[in-house]
Homo-oligomer: A and B are copies of this chain.
Amino acid sequence: MTAAVLSIGTELSRGELVNTNGPWIAAQLVTIGFEVFEHAIVDDDRPRIAAAIERFARNVSVIVCTGGLGPTTDDVTTEAVASVLGVKLRRDEASLENIRRRFEKLGRVMSESNAKQADFPEGAEILPNPIGTAPGFSVRIGRAIAFFLPGVPREMTRMLEEQVTPRIRPLAPSDTHQIRLKTFGLPESVVGEKLAGIEAAHEGVIIGYRAHFPEIEVKVLAKGASQTSAREACEKATAEVRARLGAVIYGEADDTFASVVGRTLRNRGVTLAIAESCTGGLVGSMLTREPGASDFLLLDAVTYANSAKARVLGVDEDVLRAHGAVSSEVAALMAEGARRASGSDVALSLTGVAGPTGGTEDKPVGTVYLGVTGAHGTEVKHRVFPGERLQIQTFAAYAGLQLLRTYVSA
């Protein structure tokens, strides 16, 4: 059973906006068991929208379209669908009333252009939009079923999950089960090599990858005749993925690396202080993006200037002069100083050269010293990371969190 995705909007065809709706919808369709071979993006042009719909209706069973349902004259998706079906538009009074009420709530008057959002091709099934103005709709075109949703991602995702998925799930040729594993520490190509052959050895299993630098998410999707057989196949393949990747896997599903490190600290009742230099607050920012960081984080002292390292963390100015701020000695003193200044159980420090300038022969751009201290004493690691400034900062932040996690788990 095949499906296709059509994204409509001149801002998309001109490349002003990256189309995130398309891949999100495709991934949902794949997850419930459809094959998705093709997407199209077309501008807000009635004939081109109609041509794309007609082409997909000849080739696939399910079409999901987004965009072009707004109130302006540019929004012509509904007219295009009516022209494909050879039917007229019909105003739906219930939808019109909903739109009018929505505007009333906001203390505004509905304009005539908004009334147009209550027009649908004759015979269409209307899909209510609980959080926006534009309802969606669904029509049959030949042997295909087509869904039209607004392009606003928040509205689209909710309508797809609540209204489209339940309607098309019974059409999917098989049940599916998916497990998402989060990894950090290997590049995508190496993760791929390590997992080579798993798809071939496990029938109906698809291994997908999604890179969010510097993490790689591995998705194990299994199809089966029933939910039970799909889940079993998925768990079997996932066990093999786990065996091959080992400690590179840090979590599952919606875990982030920072949330897993935070959970480790919280579960062990350990309080943390950080002393950052080259990462400039990135480690603190990653940890506090997750709710609940106040359970363990006392202080993140971003001591960017040497004077701040001395004044706030008490780093000895003679050591700074003798070894430089980017050194094993200063990393150790920064961690110890952050622990002392905050009264925390453990402390992490990062000092390095993020570039593009500041590198030397001994300490090239990418050089980072990571320190950790606590009841087990102080440890320092030396690393040289590749890439540009933001990459180096990100690698360093991840390596720091990794070091902290290992220290606390020991």
Residue-wise, chain A 25-67 has the 8 Å CB interface mask toward B (1 for contact) of 1111110000011111111010010001000000000000000
Shortest CB-to-CB span from A179 to chain B, Å, is 15
A269 within 8 A of B: no
Query: Is A219's CB within 8 Å of the partner chain B?
Result: yes
- With a cutoff of 8 Å between Cβ atoms, the chain B residues found around residue A19 in the complex are 18-19, 22-23
| B43 contacts A41, C-beta separation under 8 Å | no
Q: Shortest beta-carbon distance, A271 to chain B, in Å?
A: 8
Contact with B along A308-321 (1 / 0, CB 8 A): 10011000000000
A211-B294 Cα distance, complex, nearest whole Å: 31
- For A211, the chain B residues whose CB sits under 8 A away are 17
- Assuming A27-B16, A281-B281, A342-B305, is B288 touching A357 (CB within 8 A)? no
Question: CA–CA, A355 to B27, complex, Å?
Answer: 30
A282 CB-CB contact with B under 8 Å: yes
Residue of B209, B281, B289 near A302 (CB, 8 A) is B281
Q: A41-B22, A42-B38, A283-B281 are in contact. Are A297 and B288 (CB under 8 A)?
A: no
**Most interface-central of A25, A281, A343, A357 (chain B CB within 10 A):** A281
Q: How far is the CB of A131 from chain B (nearest CB, A)?
A: 14
Q: Which residues of B contact A30 (CB under 8 A)?
A: 14-15
Does A291 make an interface contact (CB < 8 A)?
A: yes
A interface size (C-beta, 8 A): 76
* Chain B, residue nearest A390 (CB): B289
A272-285: CB near B (< 8 Å → 1, else 0) gives: 01101011111111
Residues of B within 8 A of A341 (CB): 308, 311-312
- Cβ contact within 8 Å between B312 and A210: no
CB <8 Å contact, A26 and B40: no
**Residue ID in chain B nearest A299 by CB atoms:** B308
A307 within 8 A of B: yes
Please state if A37 and B26 are interface contacts (CB–CB under 8 Å): no
With A280-B285, A280-B287, A287-B280 known as contacts, the answer to whether A17 contacts B13 (CB < 8 A) is no
Residues of B within 8 A of A355 (CB): 291
Min CB distance A120 to B, Å, is 24
Whether the pair A16, B208 counts as a contact (CB closer than 8 A) is yes
A48 touches B38 (CB 8 A): yes
B16 and A38 form a contact (CB under 8 A)? no
- CB-CB nearest in chain B for A30: B14
Q: What's the least CB distance linking A350 to chain B, in Å?
A: 12
Instruction: Find the B residue at minimum CB distance from A42.
Output: B38
Instruction: Tell whether, in the assembled complex, residue B11 and residue A15 are in contact, meaning their CB atoms are under 8 Å apart.
Output: no
Across the interface, A304 reaches (CB within 8 A) one of B16, B279, B300, B390, namely: B300
Chain B residues whose CB sits within 8 angstroms of the CB of A299 once the complex forms: 301-305, 308, 311-312
**Is there contact, CB below 8 Å, between B291 and A280?**
no
Cβ–Cβ < 8 Å partners of A26 in chain B: 13-15
Q: If A38-B13, A40-B39, A298-B307 touch, does A282 touch B285 (CB 8 Å cutoff)?
A: yes
> Shortest distance in angstroms between A357's beta carbon and chain B's nearest beta carbon?
7
Is B281 a contact partner of A300 (Cβ separation < 8 A)?
A: yes
**A20 contacts the other chain (Cβ, under 8 Å)?**
yes
Task: Tell me whether A389 is interfacial, beta carbon within 8 Å.
Answer: yes
Q: What's the minimum C-beta distance from A16 to chain B, rounded to whole angstroms?
A: 4
- The residues of A with any CB-CB pair to B shorter than 8 Å are 11-20, 22-30, 36-43, 45, 48, 52, 206, 208-211, 219, 273-274, 276, 278-285, 287-289, 291, 293-294, 297-305, 307-308, 311-312, 341-343, 354-357, 389-390, 393
Give 15 pairs: A residue, B residue, CB < 8 Å, sorted on A.
A14-B206, A15-B28, A18-B23, A37-B45, A38-B41, A38-B43, A40-B41, A274-B302, A280-B289, A281-B285, A282-B288, A293-B304, A305-B342, A311-B343, A312-B341
